[in-house]
Chain A
Amino acid sequence: MDTTVLAELSGNIATVGYGLAAIGPAIGVGIVVGKTIESVARQPELQGRLQILMYLGIAFTEALAFIGIATYFIFTAGQ
């Protein structure tokens, strides 16, 4: 072993990429859903409007996740 190497990492960095791509939407959807539950508990008669707003929030959050995961795996294909 080369004595100048103090630490060595092995494995696939894609694992870290997936982790990073999963953190954002997980937090985002958690906040969206949590706030929706809060709002419905306060004003149940607003359910209809809150549902479609929650849907928009989830759609935007998951869009970034889709693009993030696809970017990493598709652009590293064939390497």
Chain B
Amino acid sequence: MTNTAGGHRRPSSTPVFQSVLRGGLVLAVAIAVVGGVIGFLAAGTPGLVSALIGALIGGLFLAVTAASILFANRLSNGDMLHPAYFGIILGAWLLKFVLFLIMVFLLREQPWIDGTVLFLTLVAGVLGTLAIDVIVVARSRIPYVSDVSLPGDGDRR
């Protein structure tokens, strides 16, 4: 059940999070292209810039959660009850929201931003990422019993 690579346990959820990250990247690029064209037609250059920023925020910031879980798994050696595990995930979550608030505060006063386009691309990014998350998780195959070391294979850890 557990793959060992370089002496480290590889949690069974790692491939799922890697697919989530790949799907999120593809979605962010797609939203940047489609939103950029629509934003440019609707509001000119500010619309184009806003759509690109919205896609960047939507894709990048939502990918932070999956990336932080991957990083936490790597650091805690696949043990979810390791103190660093939830520290990393929740710390990344908090940091992301603080950065998002700072970005919103800075961006809302800028003349080269079209608020409506930015908002709509952000919402499209958030909802699209959720859809991809659900699809990837629903298609993933994870055994019921995994990530546990039995007495016989104690030398694996």
- Chain A residues in contact with chain B, CB under 8 A? 18, 22, 25, 29, 33, 36-37, 40-41, 44-53, 55-56, 58-60, 62-63, 65-67, 69-71, 73-78
Contacts and interface: CB of A to CB of B under 8 A. Distances in A.
A21 to B, nearest CB: 10
A53 B66 CA distance: 12
Nearest to B86: A33
B115 interface: yes
Interface stretch (B26-34, B35-43, B98-106): B98-106
A77 B112 CA distance: 12
A53 B127 CA distance: 17
Given A37-B86, A44-B148, A70-B122, A59 B62 contact: yes
Contacts of A63: 62, 126-127, 129-130
B142 interface: yes
A69 B101 contact: yes
Interface of B: 11-13, 16-17, 20, 58, 61-62, 65-66, 69, 73, 78, 80-81, 86, 89-90, 93, 96-97, 100-101, 104-105, 108-109, 113, 115-116, 118-119, 122-123, 126-127, 129-130, 133-134, 137, 140, 142-148
A74 B73 CA distance: 36
B130 A48 contact: no
